[in-house]
Amino acid sequence: MALEFPKIFGNYALKGLEEIASPDPISTLPSGPGWWFVFGAVLLLCAAMLYRARKRWWANAYRRRAITALAALEKPERHPGQNWHDHLQSVPEILRATALHAYPRLAVVAASGDTWREFLNAATDKPLWSEKTFQVLYAVSYKPASASEISTQEAESVLRAAKAWVNEHTPQPRVGENKRQGGRRCV
What torsion do the CA atoms of 99, 104, 110, 113 make, to the nearest 10 degrees? -30
Q: How distant, in Å, are the alpha carbons of 84, 92, 95, 110, 160 from that of 151?
A: 7, 18, 21, 30, 14
pLDDT for the residue numbered 52 = 97
DSSP state of 28: S
- Within the chain, where are the H helices? 33-59, 61-74, 84-87, 91-102, 105-110, 114-122, 131-142, 152-168
Q: Give the integer Cα–Cα distance in Å for 136 and 20.
A: 88
Q: Please give the chain's pLDDT, 187 residues, in tens.
A: 677 766 666 677 777 777 788 888 888 887 788 988 999 999 999 999 999 999 999 999 999 999 999 888 876 555 455 566 667 888 999 999 999 998 888 888 888 888 988 999 888 888 888 888 888 888 888 776 654 577 778 888 889 999 999 999 888 876 655 544 444 444 3
Q: How distant, in Å, are the alpha carbons of 57, 102, 128 from that of 98?
A: 16, 6, 16
pLDDT for the residue numbered 71 = 87
pLDDT for the residue numbered 184 = 45
- Picking from 14, 83, 151, the residue whose alpha carbon sits closest to that of residue 135 is 151
pLDDT for the residue numbered 187 = 39
Q: Give the integer Cα–Cα distance in Å for 83 and 140.
A: 11
Q: How distant, in Å, are the alpha carbons of 12, 30, 80, 83, 97 from that of 93?
A: 97, 58, 26, 18, 6
pLDDT for the residue numbered 114 = 86
pLDDT for the residue numbered 111 = 86
Q: Is 52 left (phi over 0), alpha (psi -120 to 50) or beta?
A: alpha
- pTM to 2 decimal places: 0.67
Break the chain into its structural domains and give their ranges: 63-72+84-185
Q: Give the integer Cα–Cα distance in Å for 152 and 140.
A: 14
pLDDT for the residue numbered 17 = 75
pLDDT for the residue numbered 136 = 86
Q: Give the integer Cα–Cα distance in Å for 99 and 169.
A: 9
